[in-house]
A and B are shown apart, each in its own frame.
Chain A
Amino acid sequence: MTKQLDLLDIQGNVVRAFGRFGYPVARYVCINIKNGDGGRNFVAEVTKKVTTSVDWGPGPDQVPQPPWTVNIAFSYQGLKELEVPRASLMGFSPEFAEGMKARRDILGDIGPSAPDYWDPVWRDNRETREKDIHILIALNAGAPGWPANGKGLLETANEQLEMSYQWIKDVIARHSECVTLLGGHRGDDGVLLDYQDGKVVVENGQPTAKEHFGYTDGIGDPAFEGLHESPAYVNGRGKQIADGTWAPLATGEFLLGHIDEAQEYPPSPQPVLLARNGTYMVYRKLHENVGSFNAYLEEHGRHYPGGKELLAAKFSGRWRDNGAPLVSAPDAASKQAFDAKFNMADEATRDDMLSNFTYDDDMSGAKCPFSAHMRRINPRASLQMVRDPSDPPGSLKISKDAFDTPGALVNRRRILRRGLPYGEVKDPTRDDGNHGIVIMMLNADINRQFEFVQQQWINYGNDFRAGNDKDILLGNHSVDDRFPSKAVLQVDPLGDEAPYILSRIPRLVETRGGEYFFVPSMTALRMIAKGMIDPT
C-alpha cells in the first residue's frame, strides 16, 4: 500500500506552495511572548484558524478552499518561552537552538549580508528577550481559482489579506498583556513596518511566477511519498533509482517522524508527538540588487556570443521567460523549438518539459554551466563525474555505477521551497529599492540539507570542480576588488569556442534577515498550547 499522510495533521504550507494555488499575496508577522501562560492561550486561539494540508473540495465531507490561510512556526526561543520542557528543547537540532544569525559564517552571511545590515526586526532578534522573535505567523491570501484570469485577482487578494491581518491583530489585542507584534521590517523607502509583505511580480497588469531579475521561479519542487499528485509528478522532482526511472523521495527528508532516505527516523525532539508531522523551516529575506544585475547582464550580454537572454539563462540554468531548462534548450534555435512545443502543450506536458530532465548529456557543462544556479542547488546525478586522462580537457563523463543509485549524492540535500517575492522594482538601474524574495525552506535537517547546500554548493565550488567559484546568482560574491569573484561558462570540449569567463561578478543577492523555525503538526500545536508536553 502506498504511503498515506495524515494531511489533517500537517500544516498546509508544508505540502503546498500557496503562491501557485491562487494566493498571490502574503504577510508575515513576528511575535514576542511576554509570559508562558498567556503565550499558550494565544497559540490556542491561533491554532483554531491554522490551515492544514487537507485536500480542498466543495463536498459536504470536505474542507472548502479558504480565501486566506494561516500557518504558525516557532523559534527555539519561542518554544522556551512557551515552557516546552527543557528535556524536549534539548532534542531540537543544535543549529535550530543557535538560530540563523549565529550561523553566519557557515551560511556566508558576511559583508553586505551580515546581520548588522538586516532589517531591525531580524537584526535585534536574539539580542534581548524583549525583541526575540518567538512566533512567525504566515498569512496567505487570494481568490480560489487563480490563475485562470488575472483581472481583479490582486484587488480581491489584497482585500482578503487585510482581513486576515485584521484577524491576527484582533487576536493579539485580546492577548496584549502577553504578546507583542514586533515591528522593524523594512518596506518602501526604508519605512519600518509591523509586517513583511510578499506579493507576486506583476507584468503588464498580470500576475506572474517571476522574481525581480525576471526569472520564472518555483519550478521543480521535490516530490516525496504521500503527496497527492499525479504519478508523473515524480519525474525530475523525485529521486532517480538504479534503472534511471524516478521515484518519490522518502517522506522523512521533509517531515519528522517518517522514515528518511537513510531508512531511519530523522533525529527529533521527544516526545514523538511533539515532532511527528512537523518540520524545520528556514526563513530568509533576500534582497535583490536589481541595478547591479541589469548592468552586469547588459555589459556581458554585449560580448557574450549568443546574446543577452542566453547569457541570463546561463546564470540560472533556465531561460527567463518560461523557465525552459538549458539542457533541453541550450541555444536560440533549440529554444525556439522548445517554445513551439511548449505553447501548444497541455499543463501536464508543460510540467514534464520543465521538470523532467537530467544532466547526463551535459557532463561538460556546455549546456548548463557548473556554476548556474539550478545546477548548484540540485545537481541531479551529475556530481558523479569522471574523466579519462586521454580525453580532451573539460570532457567529464557520468560515472553511472559510482554509487548504488544516480541520486545518491543529492537525495539527502533536497529542500522544499515556499514564499513569494516582495516589493517592486520602480527603477531597474538602482539596487536600493525595496525588492527581493522571502524564501521559506522546509527540511527535516537544517544542517544536512539547507546549510550544506548553502555552504558547499552555493558559496563554494569544489564539488563542481570549480574551485572557489560560487553560484552565479546566489553566491556571496566578493566585494573586495583584490579578490574578485568569477565563474566559467563551459563550452563543448571538442568545439572551437573558448569558455566564457564571467569576471568580477557583483553580489546580486543580499541577506536582509532570517531565522530557523519549527513548524509543528496540528497535534503538537494543540499540545504546546495546552502545556501538555511530556518528554519522559
Chain B
Amino acid sequence: MGSISGNAYALTALCPIRKGIVVGEEIAYSDKVRDNLQNWNILPNSPMAQVPQTYLCRYFVLDDVYTESLSGGSAPDTLNDWLPVVPDSIRRSAMPAHDRLQSSYLVFSCNLHGGPKGDVDSYLRGMWNAISGPIREAWGYCYGFDQVTDAASFVTYMHKCMLPATLFFVGSNDDPLPEQLKALYLKQEFSRFAVANQGLDAATLRANYKSFIQRVAPNALSFPTWEPGKYQP
C-alpha cells in the first residue's frame, strides 16, 4: 500500500475548515488556524516533538488549488491549433473547467514509525494523549471535529480525512524513533571520543573506551540520548 515504506508510514490528512468568523475578532476560521500554527514558531519547540515516533511533519492551511496556466493543451487542442475544424466557441465550452476547492483545508503531512504493518492508529492515539490541547488549536475549526472528544474519536476522524498520498520526506532508516535518537547521540559522542583519544597507546585507549561506553550506555534507550525535536546542542 502506498503509505507504507518499510517501517515508515506517510500520513497525509486534508481536513476541511468550516466557513465562519471567530467570535469577537474580525478573522476567518481558516486564517485563525494559520495564525495558531504560526504561533507555534514562538514556542521553545514544536508540540509535535512530544508525539512519540514522529520522524518529520508539516502543517499548512491550503486555501485553494494552485494553477500556473490555463487548462487545455492536450492532443485534440494541439491538433485544433494546426487545423481549426471545430469552431472556437464549441472548443472552449469543451475545455475542462478550472477546479476550485469548496473550502480551505488544514493539511497535516507526517512521516512516522508505524512498524511493518503501518500501525497509524497507535500513532494517532499517542498523539492525542500527548498534545490534545495543541490538536484542538489546529483542528478546532474543522468540519466534524466537534465529534472528537477522545483518542478513539480522533482516530476515527483522521481516517475520514486521510489520503494515500505517499508523501515521504525523510530518508529515515526505519528504526523506532528512540533508537534513531540514541544512534544520533552515540555518533556525536563517539566523534568527540575519537578526537580526544587520537594517537594514544593501546592500554590507555582501552581504559578510556571502557569509561566511554559506561557513560554513554549504548543499550539504555531513554538516557542518555538526544531529545526528540532538539535541534541544537
Contact = CB atoms under 8 A, between A and B. Distances in A.
Contacts of B194: 501
A482 B195 contact: no
A500 B199 CA distance: 9
B199 A482 contact: no
A500 B191 CA distance: 12
B233 A482 contact: yes
A131 interface: no
Contacts of A503: 195-196, 198
B195 A501 contact: yes
A475 B191 CA distance: 20
A486 interface: yes
A228 interface: no
A500 B233 CA distance: 25
Main secondary structure on B side of the interface with A: helix
Contacts of A498: 198
B233 A501 contact: no
B198 A500 contact: yes
A341 interface: no
A56 to B, nearest CB: 53
B183 to A, nearest CB: 15
A349 B145 CA distance: 77
Interface string B149-170: 0000000000000000000000
Contact of B198 (A482, A483, A501): A501
Contacts of A482: 233
Interface residues of B, number: 7
A151 interface: no
Nearest to B194: A501
Contact of A486 (B195, B199, B233): B195
Interface string A23-55: 000000000000000000000000000000000
Interface in B163-201: 191, 194-196, 198-199
A498 B199 CA distance: 9
Contacts of B195: 486, 501, 503
Contacts of B196: 503
A503 B198 CA distance: 10
A104 interface: no
Nearest to B187: A467
A483 B233 contact: yes
A152 B194 CA distance: 53
A303 B195 CA distance: 13
Interface in A460-489: 482-483, 486
A486 B193 CA distance: 13
A486 B195 CA distance: 9
A296 to B, nearest CB: 15
A289 to B, nearest CB: 21
B233 A303 contact: no
Nearest to A484: B195
Interface string A122-150: 00000000000000000000000000000
Interface string B190-233: 01001110110000000000000000000000000000000001
A251 B221 CA distance: 57
Nearest to B199: A303
A55 B219 CA distance: 71
Contacts of A486: 191, 195
A411 B34 CA distance: 42
Interface in B28-86: none
Contacts of B199: 303
Nearest to A305: B199
A498 B195 CA distance: 12
Nearest to A486: B195
B122 to A, nearest CB: 32
A282 B196 CA distance: 39
A483 B195 CA distance: 13
Interface string A355-366: 000000000000
A230 to B, nearest CB: 46
Contacts of B233: 482-483
A307 B30 CA distance: 66
Interface in A487-504: 498, 500-501, 503
Top 5 nearest A-B pairs by Cβ distance? Answer: A503-B195, A501-B195, A501-B198, A303-B199, A486-B195
14 contacts: A303-B198, A303-B199, A482-B233, A483-B233, A486-B191, A486-B195, A498-B198, A500-B198, A501-B194, A501-B195, A501-B198, A503-B195, A503-B196, A503-B198
Interface of A: 303, 482-483, 486, 498, 500-501, 503
Given A482-B233, A498-B198, A503-B198, 11 more contacts: A303-B198, A303-B199, A483-B233, A486-B191, A486-B195, A500-B198, A501-B194, A501-B195, A501-B198, A503-B195, A503-B196
